[in-house]
Amino acid sequence: MNINDLLRENIKSMKAYASARSEFAGQASVWLDANEHPFGSAAGPGLNRYPDPSQKKLKQRIGNMKNIDADHIFLGNGSDEPIDLLIRAFCEPARDHIIILPPTYGMYKVAADLNNVAVKQVGLSDNFDLNIPQILSFADKYTKLLFVCSPNNPTGNLAGRDQLVALLRSFNGIVVVDEAYIDFATPGSSMLPLLGQHSNLVILQTFSKAWTMAGLRLGIAFASRDIVEVLHKIKPPYNVNELTQQHVLEVLNKEHIIAGWANEIIALRRMLERELAMLSCVKRIFPSEANFLLVQVSDAEAIYAFLLKKRIVVRNRSGEAGCSNCLRITVGTTAENALLVQALKEFSRIK
């Protein structure tokens, strides 16, 4: 697939902003090119300087860890940034559209709405699997992007690999696979190994979930060089700040700790699942490959409100397609999960 054929005309012809640090990034001792403050920073060492706009060190480290060349990596201010940039790069407002597969993550539609790009919705099946023939029947030459969340938020299940490959082969646009929760999933579930075979595949991952750094805002898009180049051209020049680059570089040395914590969360999820299953107000727990459970309850509104009174916040997903009376519950610590179960027992007793 030729990515250029999918791009918006104005994006093809525009030139990227040339920042001071992108024009000269070599060695020097006197930096008078970027209007930075020369005294140093009141916020901390080196913070008077703009960060590396191409995040070279960070990409190198991530590339080493994932066994992928740095030029297949785009880094964003959270993965919400590449979601927005992909829509802006490929979808002509008021003409092109995207396909999403509800129930799913809300940001795809928000980003499309913001950009005046229409959204076609193809519901997942009863088991929350992809409905391939229906997806393909909704696609036409104006369908530029298809967003697949795997493991899916809020349902927790993985998209089938064979189904995704079928889509990559048959869909004449870009397939964005959002793997925000992949570090909690069965090992080997990531689509990353398929990157080299499909020029229309974009994989989103994030440091916000298993990597414990939601506050730092760092997301990754893995893609073909052509797509990465486009995202680079249109991103805000200094989209990943210096503190984020430094902190994430440090945490990348603690991969084993992060992996251990992910395993602990999975164990806690299984324990929570067993305890919830014994409650009379719980009707169904959907299988999860993530750090949350989608739980169908007797009365989501009432239980949500009851939990709030106990100062426990979960997510009421009842309004989403196929999620009637469903709460999405994030796996917490042992103590937090116990408080939740205790509150739900109390609810079951008084109902």
Ligand X SMILES: *Cc1c(COP(=O)(O)O)cnc(C)c1O
- CB 106, min distance to ligand X, A: 9
101 vs 344, beta carbon nearer ligand X = 101
- CB 205, min distance to ligand X, A: 8
156 vs 173, beta carbon nearer ligand X = 156
50 vs 105, beta carbon nearer ligand X = 105
Asked whether the bond before 151 is cis by omega within 30 degrees of 0, the reply is yes
131 vs 212, beta carbon nearer ligand X = 212
Rg (CA), the chain: 22
Angle of helix 242-251 relative to helix 56-66, nearest 10 degrees, comes to: 30
Helices (H), the chain: 3-6, 9-13, 20-23, 56-66, 80-90, 107-114, 132-138, 161-170, 225-234, 242-251, 255-277, 300-309, 334-350
7 vs 220, beta carbon nearer ligand X = 220
78: left (phi over 0), alpha (psi -120 to 50) or beta: left
Residue 99 near residue 122 (C-beta atoms within 8 A):
yes
- What whole-number distance in Å separates Cα of residue 90 and Cα of residue 145? 8
The β-bridge partners of 330 are: 292
- CB 208, min distance to ligand X, A: 3
105 vs 128, beta carbon nearer ligand X = 105
219 vs 281, beta carbon nearer ligand X = 219
Strands 97-100 and 143-149: parallel
Residues lying near ligand X in the complex (CB under 6 A) are found at 78-80, 105, 149, 153, 178, 180, 206, 208-209, 214, 219
- CB 290, min distance to ligand X, A: 8
- CB 181, min distance to ligand X, A: 7
- CB 124, min distance to ligand X, A: 14
- What whole-number distance in Å separates Cα of residue 129 and Cα of residue 127? 6
- CB 179, min distance to ligand X, A: 8
Structure token digits, residue 274 = 């067993």
Q: Which residue is nearest to ligand X (CB)?
A: 78
DSSP summary character for residue 17: -
